[in-house]
Amino acid sequence: MVALVTGANNGIGKEIARQLADTGLIVYVGSRDAARGQRAVAEIGGETRLLALGVTDDASIADAARQAGTLDILVNNAGISGDGAGTHRSRKVAMAQKVTIALEDDLTGGPAAQTVRFAVDGTGYEIDLNATNAAAFTKQLAPYLEHARRTGRAQPRRGGRAAAGRPRSGDVRAWAKEHGLAVGARGRIPAGVLEQYHAAAHGR
């Protein structure tokens, strides 16, 4: 998908362009000042491209239209100066912008309901599907998922009890204190103290 954001060399326009680029879109950064626009492109990164564009210049608009071609998203963020009376006074017209990114079903076309992500042979894939196609995809995979093994290892859960056969550090510290052995209130218990504790516990 291709998007154009006018007035995208700074401020709100630049942030909109950044967020669109983060979704993987090709984003044209519309800027009347080519140098500032190029800096914005470099800072945003991704699939961003400079498009020299003055929104009050018909020739500039026509040239930009030829360069950008067909657009899927247009965000007209550029401010327009002028008071309509031919004077040098100017005001900036502020407009609220709402950007809607519509997903298209990659299989059959038309609106998509969700993006399905999966992996085969270590390579990740994603596909936009409508509800019917997504359900069909899941149904086709169901027999394989039923017998498949999940990859990765679950993070170990930290329980409140000590492992079986392993003494509580508090018990060891208390025993050591009773027997005049130097053990800090925190930190690792010396191996020698542990050996003596185990020996005493087993009657040796």
Contact status, residue 4 vs residue 28, Cβ threshold 8 Å: yes
Do residues 122 and 187 both lie within one domain? no
Do residues 21 and 55 both lie within one domain? yes
- Total domains present in the chain: 3
Contact status, residue 114 vs residue 128, Cβ threshold 8 Å: yes
Give the domain extent around 119.
114-147
pLDDT tens sequence across 41-82? 999 988 899 988 887 778 888 888 888 888 888 888 765 554
Do residues 6 and 70 both lie within one domain? yes
Q: What's the pLDDT score for residue 48?
A: 92
Q: Where residue 19 sits, what CATH number does that domain have?
A: 3.40.50.720
CA end-to-end distance (rounded Å), the chain:
76
Rounded alpha-carbon distances, angstroms, from residue 181 to 31, 176, 178, 195: 75, 5, 8, 12
Going across the sheet that includes 73-75, the strands are: 48-52, 26-31, 2-5, 73-75
Chosen domain end from 75, 100, 125? 75
Beta bridge partners of 173: none
Do residues 61 and 19 both lie within one domain? yes
Does 90 map to a domain? Answer: no
pLDDT tens sequence across 119-141? 888 788 888 889 999 899 988 98
Q: What's the pLDDT score for residue 117?
A: 84
Q: Where residue 190 sits, what CATH number does that domain have?
A: 4.10.320.10
Does 58 map to a domain? Answer: yes
pTM greater than 0.75 (yes/no): no
pLDDT band at 103 (very low <50, low <70, confident <90, very high): confident
Q: Minimal CA–CA distance to 31: which of 39, 20, 21?
A: 39
CA distance 134 to 92: 46
Does 86 map to a domain? Answer: no
Do residues 63 and 10 both lie within one domain? yes
